[in-house]
Amino acid sequence: MAATFQSPDFYRLDDLLTEEQKMTRDTVRGWVQDKVVPVIASHYQACTFPRDLVPEMAQLGLLGPTLPEAYGCAGMDQVAAGLVMQELERGDSAMRSFASVQGSLVMYPIFTYGSEAQKDHWLPRLARGEAIGCFGLTEPDAGSDPGSMKTRAERRGDAWVLNGTKMWITNGTMADVAVVWARTPEGFGGFLVEKGTPGFSAPEMKGKLSLRASVTSELIFEDCPVPEANRLPAARGLKAPLSCLNQARYGIAWGVVGAAAACYDEALRYARERIMFEGPIARFQLVQDKLVWMLNEITKAQLLVWKLGKMKDEGTLRHAQVSLAKMNCVWMARECARLARDIEGANGILDEYCAMRHMQNLESVYTYEGTHDVHKLVVGADITGYEAFRTVTAPVDR
């Protein structure tokens, strides 16, 4: 809605933030309000990504905000970076997904596992938004279990040849560079595949009822040659791509708090203004129950992600802690979006309200970057020592 967003801060958690963090948050909030909110519903309906906003996102420093200034990035702390994601996803999960992929899944692996030449070539371009990146790990038959991937890279002389198909790849069709993970004779490796490489195509996937303002693609490799210089030298085994996903999941945990806050703010305004039985519906106990549920969960999530960020800045964050946050925050955001839509009645299904768009987006977020259930089992494994998702049980023969 046109009214300026009022973020819930029931426990004055703003007191936990530094001046720079608050200014970062307020800047991105203002930009999202001015540039994303007015156009996002029509992009969602048209199934298009607002690509014209990428240069502005780059100018603001939203692409890889924690990476060093030497590569044209801002060198922000993790809490500030989380707040960026929160504000982007308040606009739409597509905006946060774009920034997540560019920053956490493309710039981060190049920064962490790339050669000096790869870093110097790609990071400034990616930070300036002149190049767009995507991350190819998931396959049609390898989602939660990336170790079962079929895409393979074979050595041919000094180069590599890639064969296989990736699926559900955000930014794929518009990407200038794809960070692609494939089986190698040594295990698994990461490759930078440039747009236009022979044997590489990235058709857009159609028919989505969620994340409609985001580009989702297949990546197809048919005897696609990749020079050795484009292999990420320090990425060995699946730990490398999983470490990238951990970065992205951190951003998701923050991001969805923004989506939930947008839904709460909208539902609260609606409840105060909607007159039924000669008074605002906000006076009904059942409406208050929903609003309080939302505020309660949002407040807890705000505290959770702030502490998550502090641990990340300290370098003590464990992946199971990220899993718990991703699991909890997306779940609560999805519930908030549903409750908001419920409060808004029939109006809530219109695209002039944000609740249903967020709700549909969050259905994807709930199962991408590790499904809700797999994150639950990651935490389960952490506390019990048993990795439930790896247990293979032979079917009973009747």
Strands 216-227 and 133-136, bridge-based pairing: unpaired
Residue 366 beta carbon to another protein: minimum distance, rounded to whole angstroms: 29
**Count of residues touching another protein (by CB under 8 A):** 20
- 1, 20, 120, 386: residue in contact with another protein (rule CB under 8 A): 20
- In terms of Cα–Cα distance, which of 59, 78, 214, 14 is closest to 134? 214
Backbone angles phi, psi at 149, to 5 degrees: -60, 150
Choices 74-82, 134-142, 353-361, 366-374; region in contact with another protein by CB under 8 A:
74-82
- 36, 40, 74, 304: residue in contact with another protein (rule CB under 8 A): 74
**Catalytic annotation present for 69:** no
* Contact partners, residue 365, CB within 8 Å, separation at least 6: 93, 252, 256, 330, 333, 334
Contact pattern for another protein over residues 215 through 254, marking x by CB under 8 A: ----------------------------------------
Residue 214 beta carbon to another protein: minimum distance, rounded to whole angstroms: 23
Contact pattern for another protein over residues 27 through 66, marking x by CB under 8 A: x--xx---------------------------xxxx--x-
| Catalytic choice (69, 228, 369, 387) | 369
Which of 69, 186 has the CB closer to another protein?
A: 69
Choices 22-30, 134-142, 147-155, 348-356; region in contact with another protein by CB under 8 A:
22-30
- 24, 197, 302, 321: residue in contact with another protein (rule CB under 8 A): 24
Task: Report yes or no: 136 and 199 within 8 Å, Cβ to Cβ.
Answer: no
The H or E element containing residue 139 is: none
Quote the CA–CA distance of 127 and 119 in Å, as a whole number: 11
Residue 67 beta carbon to another protein: minimum distance, rounded to whole angstroms: 11
**Position 127: which residue type?**
A
Residue 80 beta carbon to another protein: minimum distance, rounded to whole angstroms: 7
- In terms of Cα–Cα distance, which of 275, 264, 274 is closest to 297? 264
- 37, 40, 80, 378: residue in contact with another protein (rule CB under 8 A): 80
- Alpha carbon distances (Å) from 71 to 102, 107, 116: 14, 10, 11
Quote the CA–CA distance of 383 and 379 in Å, as a whole number: 6
Which of 59, 384 has the CB closer to another protein?
A: 59
Please list every residue from 351 through 380 that binds another protein, using CB under 8 A: none
Which of 31, 113 has the CB closer to another protein?
A: 31
- 67, 76, 180, 304: residue in contact with another protein (rule CB under 8 A): 76
Quote the CA–CA distance of 105 and 178 in Å, as a whole number: 10
Decide: helix, strand or coil at residue 77. coil
Task: Report yes or no: 280 and 274 within 8 Å, Cβ to Cβ.
Answer: yes
Quote the CA–CA distance of 240 and 222 in Å, as a whole number: 24
- 15, 19, 278, 314: residue in contact with another protein (rule CB under 8 A): 19
Residue 182 beta carbon to another protein: minimum distance, rounded to whole angstroms: 34
Residue 24 beta carbon to another protein: minimum distance, rounded to whole angstroms: 6
Quote the CA–CA distance of 276 and 282 in Å, as a whole number: 10
Residue 297 beta carbon to another protein: minimum distance, rounded to whole angstroms: 22
The H or E element containing residue 238 is: none
Give strand pairing partners of 189.
Answer: 182
**Position 193: which residue type?**
V
Q: Left if phi > 0, otherwise alpha if psi is -120 to 50, otherwise beta: which for 28? A: alpha
Residues classed as catalytic = 369
Q: Which residues bind another protein (CB under 8 A)?
A: 4, 19-20, 23-24, 27, 30-31, 59-62, 65, 69, 73-76, 80, 84
